[in-house]
Amino acid sequence: MALSYLQSQSVPVSSESECGVEVTTSPVTKEHKPRTYPLILGIAALILSLTFMIFGAFYWKKCVRNADAGKRGSFSLKQLKVATDNFDPLNKIGEGGFGSVYKGRLPDGTLIAVKKLSSKSCQGNKEFVNEIGMIACLQHPNLVKLYGCC
């Protein structure tokens, strides 16, 4: 039988080759490639994108809320002097690019850290404002919460 004749047949034809292996032919049909892989990848990408957007929105909302909370607190210089014993050198706990940091205690007993901006600071106001903005947004066990400013 000719091969073209076998392809046009609708009934499977079986024959035994010289090696004893049975060979079966059936009508040739065009296979349609499944479109499930692109669909699954698209859905997975959509779910992943939505997850990142939701977590990003929660993080942004928390950051804005913390920044607003930092803006609400306002202390007078007199209150900070009382809390730090007039910026006593014994209460000095560190020094940074903008000035010294002092340990203090508010009248309600809350322990605070007060950063006293130095006039000798070689960094500008813009950098200081950026640092305060970052502290207001970040939460970490080694960072103190920003309560306010003077």
Binding residues for ATP: 116
Q: Binding site: what residues are annotated?
A: 116
Give the span between the Cα atoms of 98 and 6, in whole angstroms.
89
Sign (positive/negative) of CA torsion 114, 97, 139, 65? Answer: positive
Please, what is the end-to-end C-alpha distance for the chain in angstroms? Answer: 99
Strands 92-95 and 99-105: antiparallel
Sign (positive/negative) of CA torsion 57, 142, 119, 149? Answer: positive
In contact, 70 and 147? CB cutoff 8 Å: yes
**Pair of tokens at residue 67:** 């920044």
